[in-house]
Structure 1
């Protein structure tokens, strides 16, 4: 059934994306799976002309703020291409990390995760669709960054945003570029 959600892939627009795991399984409970996703973000930035502006990895979804840049043919890379690359790379790396956890522990920690791990056939990692919201004002960009950085606190995973390792909060708060640096200097990013 086709989605009624309209996507606007306009040149120069920043995208606020939410991508959820298959059946909202908490794959990102495992640090090695979070590390795999960060590696996929790095590979995506190396392969696609984009600027990462913010992110948070939650147990069953990720929020991303990204600005596609001009490609070799002077058109911004479509957000669908960025997502296809990121979801493909992260899905492969994350499944590999989950297999390693399974081999070491013979469990992924919860019944739904174990059922996924022992299931036959293709086991998707991501839901096919996600949420995409275009940002074209500095205030809205800052609002979305504040929203994603507060997400682990709202969920009760940590007391303060800086305590959540897999988030861009510390980059903006103290310049910490681990586990991945963001591509924003504080002004409204522009298409280059």
Structure 2
């Protein structure tokens, strides 16, 4: 396993990329994006996750986050585990036209790793990058919010519903409350 992108400072501010195995376009469906939003809200309310920015793209999620209790790795582990269970439940019990294909891909991904029981939805990595300066934070914040624009989904970042860009633009609708980053950065 790679060690280049581990969360080494559990109290630090991190830019995270959480991706679906095989870069499967799972989040092209609103149901699955809504599961992510609901579970991020739960982690904010019950696990001390502080979200500063996010975007949910078709096959990955970018987040700038920190954990109040200096346990970011544990919070992310729980988030990914429970979100995977919710997604798999929706796939198996919902009206998913790609059911067999998705379950096959997630089963094949699980076979490759001893940690998985039957299915693997997310990769094990979080591609965690420690954010240590205002310039670096601003760069990642802009990257997150411009992701849907670069993908050709929207013309302006704040027009993408599944992003914190509207939080920063002070526009509605907002799906998830975030803590707005202001310079100079200070940790919790």
Partner of 2:110: none
- 1:11-50 matches, cutoff 5 A: 12-50=11-49
- How far 1:4 sits from its partner (Å)? 3.9
User: How many angstroms does 1:119 deviate by?
Assistant: 6.8
- Cα deviation for residue 114 of structure 1 reads 4.3
Are 1:80 and 2:86 counterparts?
A: no
- What is the CA-CA distance between 1:22 and the residue it aligns to? 1.3
- Is the alpha carbon distance of 1:163 and 1:120 closer, same or farther for their aligned partners in structure 2, counting shifts above 3 Å? closer
Shift of 1:50: 2.6
- Compute the TM-score of the two structures, normalised by the length of structure 2: 0.83
Counterpart among 130, 134, 140 of residue 138 in structure 1: 134
Quote how far apart the aligned CAs of 1:11 are.
Answer: 5.5
| In 1: Cα distance, 2:33 partner to 2:79 partner | 13
2:53 touches 2:63 (CA, 8 Å); kept in 1?
A: yes
What's the counterpart of residue 114 of structure 2? none
Structure 2 counterpart SS, 1:62 = strand
1:70-92, Cα deviation, whole Å (9 max, x unpaired): x3xxxx22x21121011012112
CA deviation profile, 1:121-167 (whole Å, cap 9, x unmatched): 62211012131101121221121111011111111122221221100
TM-score between both structures, scaled by the size of structure 1: 0.82
Q: How many residues align?
A: 178
Q: Is the 8 A contact 2:20 2:60 kept in 1?
A: yes
SS of structure 1 residue aligned to 2:37: helix
Cα distance in 1 for residues equivalent to 2:128 and 2:187: 18
Query: Following superposition of structure 1 onto structure 2, how do residues 119-158 of structure 1 map, counting pairs within 5 Å?
Result: 122-158=118-154
Superposed structure 1 runs of 4+ greater than 4 Å apart: 118-121
Give runs of aligned pairs for residues 68-107 of structure 1, distance below 5 A.
68-69=67-68, 71=69, 76-77=70-71, 79-100=72-93, 103-104=94-95, 107=97
Partner secondary structure for residue 140 of structure 2: helix
Pairwise CA RMSD: 2.3
Change (3 A) 1:188 1:12: farther
1:60-117 per-residue CA deviation (whole Å, 9 max, x = no partner) reads: 0000100222x3xxxx22x2112101101211222233335xx43x513xxxx64123
1:167 and 2:163 correspond: yes
